[in-house]
Structure 1
Amino acid sequence: MGSQASTLLREEEIEEIKKETGFSHSQITRLYSRFTSLDKCQNGTLSQEDLQSIPELAINPLGDRIISAFFAEGEDQVNFRGFTRTLAHFRPIEDNNERSNDPTAGEPINSRTNKLLFSFRLYDMDRDGRISRDELLQVLRMMVGTNILDEQLGSIVDRTIQEANWNGDNSISFDDFVKLLEDFDVEQKMSIRFLH
């Protein structure tokens, strides 16, 4: 399947994806093979149902939130390029040695800032640029299930918002989120070793 995957991807596409994501040629062809094995309709895109068949996401309490991150707002399908772009957030940061010399390229997808932004969006369920008390409560409830009483969880959420909300609007902005996690090792916690 790996050799077939490399013949279905044009060399120009592979080069563009390499520049954009930082994945190597062999990683891209292996990811393409995985992508095509998930593509049950064989139409070159994946649906949420396709991604739910990944065992690691199926058992992850935030699996549905992670899966939704693969899709642009209003979209219900993701192509291979979007798939690799999302996965690139989980590349270890030390893999940024081959960073593009293109000054318009900006930060690598797997930079600390972009990893934090990806994480922030998992909590910002309505995509309004703020994490409300209800959104934080909802995500934490997904994470802990019924292991913590609602009152205890509510207390944790209130303390977190109080601690993180420096402008007093009872929600967490991205800047608040970054400050809250400044000592958190997002580089290690949000990294998956890809296909080495």
Structure 2
Amino acid sequence: MGNTSSMLTQYDIEEVQNHCNNRFTQREIVSLYQRFCALDRSGKGYISADEFMSVPEFAVNPLSQRLLGMLEGLNFKEFVEVLSAFSPLATIEEKLNFIFKVYDIRNNGKVSREDILRVLCDLSGNFLTDDQRQAVVTQALEESGYSKDDSLTPEDFLKILQKGSLKMEVEVPID
């Protein structure tokens, strides 16, 4: 499975399916493998940053650089595991854990005010001033019962975001 020029065996498909907690059907895994191979133009068994950035939808995503840090260099099995957070079968906790990782800029298991501000800056671009972003983050933290100096753990993050509705799904096209 490391070499993308090979075909998936039934064993490989079942192994990937188990690895992603059966969030995708076997047909979806085959379809994802075909897409993975198309993106892995170098045939190295992983998708490089340049290969990810060649996908127009990915390149224009304001969080593409954050996502690259999470996705670059993943093999197919790891790639499907990351994508499983977008499955309709994924739990809200799995989806929120993915979002937490996007916000956890230092990869230290905590989301600080600065982490939130950096992501908000990426998302808002020039539409908000620094002062407006500061105010948004301060208000959001205070409404959630946290101070501006608190760092959020995954549990805190889950508690805050679980209050709203979250639709984070992708449909895997099957050929």
Cross-structure match for 1:98: none
- Equivalent in the alignment of 1:40: 41
Unaligned runs of 5+ in 2: none
Mapped partners of 2:138, 2:148: distance in 1: 12
Of 133, 137, 141 in structure 2, the residue corresponding to residue 153 of structure 1 is 133
Q: Would you tell me which structure has more strand in proportion to its own residues?
A: 1
Structure 2 residue aligned with 1:87, among 44, 62, 83? 83
How is 1:1-196 mapped onto 2 (pairs within 5 angstroms)? 8-21=7-20, 22-71=23-72, 77-93=73-89, 110-166=90-146, 169-186=149-166, 189-195=167-173
Question: Between Structure 1 and Structure 2, how many residues are aligned?
Answer: 169
**Per-residue displacement from partner, 1:36-85 (whole Å, max 9, x unpaired)?**
111121121111221122222111111222232225xxxxx111111111
TM-score (norm 1): 0.78
Deviation at 1:143, TM superposition (A): 0.2
CA contact (8 A) 2:104 2:111 kept: yes
Further displaced range: 162-171 or 128-137:
162-171
Gaps of 5+ in 1: 72-76, 94-109
Structure 1 distance, partners of 2:62, 2:145, is 26
Task: Give how far 1:167 is off.
Answer: 8.0
**Residue pair 2:19, 2:77 contacting (<8 A) in 1 also:** no
Distance change >3 Å, CA 152–CA 167, structure 1 → 2? closer
Whichever residue aligns with residue 135 of structure 1, its letter is D
Q: In the aligned structure 1, how far is the partner of 2:109 from the partner of 2:15? A: 30
Distance 1:165 1:69 in 2: 29
RMSD of aligned Cα (Å): 2.1
Q: Compared with structure 1, are the counterparts of its residues 58 and 119 closer, same or farther at alpha carbon in structure 2 (3 Å cutoff)?
A: same
Superimposed CA distance per residue, residues 146-174 of structure 1 (whole angstroms, 9 cap, x where no aligned partner): 00111111111122223335488522222
Counterpart code for 1:195: P
Is the CA contact 1:161–1:171 (under 8 Å) kept in the aligned structure 2? no
